[in-house]
A = this chain, B = another copy of it.
Amino acid sequence: MDTTAYNAAPTRLRNTPSWLLSQVTTHAHRLVWGAFGSADARNHHYALLSALEEHGPASQAELGRRCGIDRSDVVAALNELAGRGLVTRSPDPADRRRNIVTVTPAGLRQLARLDEVLGRAQDELLAGLSADERDRLIRLLTKILDHHAAQRPNH
């Protein structure tokens, strides 16, 4: 007798892309959460540190746009990062509505740590796929994302 959950899932669900996506994303979330938890971090922290490392200092609104994080959640995540000395917030003299957020050396070290544990989580997540299949998956997901980004520029 087959006792696995997914093999017994209703045909309707197994044929529905959005259901497959959410199931796989749940697995991914579990793995990444475990990996980041060992470094006391969350998804938003990694995204924000990545954006700051790649593009340099930025306003909170810009960070939110780049990472696809709501303005409100950017505030909360930056509070946590700043509280631990991983980023600094300073007023923008050129536009006093804005904060300029900058990543600190400690923030860059944390990012490197997260890169490592995150890589291992990806390997676990995709353990069932060949290198070719992983490439194809990334390309397909990127294509969907780009399509919707074109339909729905910024939020």
Q: Interface-forming stretch among A63-71, A82-90, A92-100?
A: A63-71
* A 1-19 binary contact with B (CB < 8 Å = 1; else 0): 0011111111111111111
- Contact B65 A17, beta carbon cutoff 8 Å: no
- Copies in the assembly, this chain: 2
B25 touches A25 (CB 8 A): yes
Determine the chain B residues whose CB is within 8 A of the CB of A129 once the complex forms: 140, 143-144, 147
Q: Is the CB of A22 within 8 A of B20?
A: no
Chain A, interface size category, equals: 35 or more
Does chain B have a CB within 8 A of A134? yes
Let me know if A113 is at the binding interface, CB within 8 A: no
Chain A positions near chain B (C-beta within 8 angstroms)? 3-29, 31-32, 43, 46-47, 50-51, 53-55, 65-68, 115, 118, 121-122, 125-129, 133-134, 136-138, 140-150, 153-155
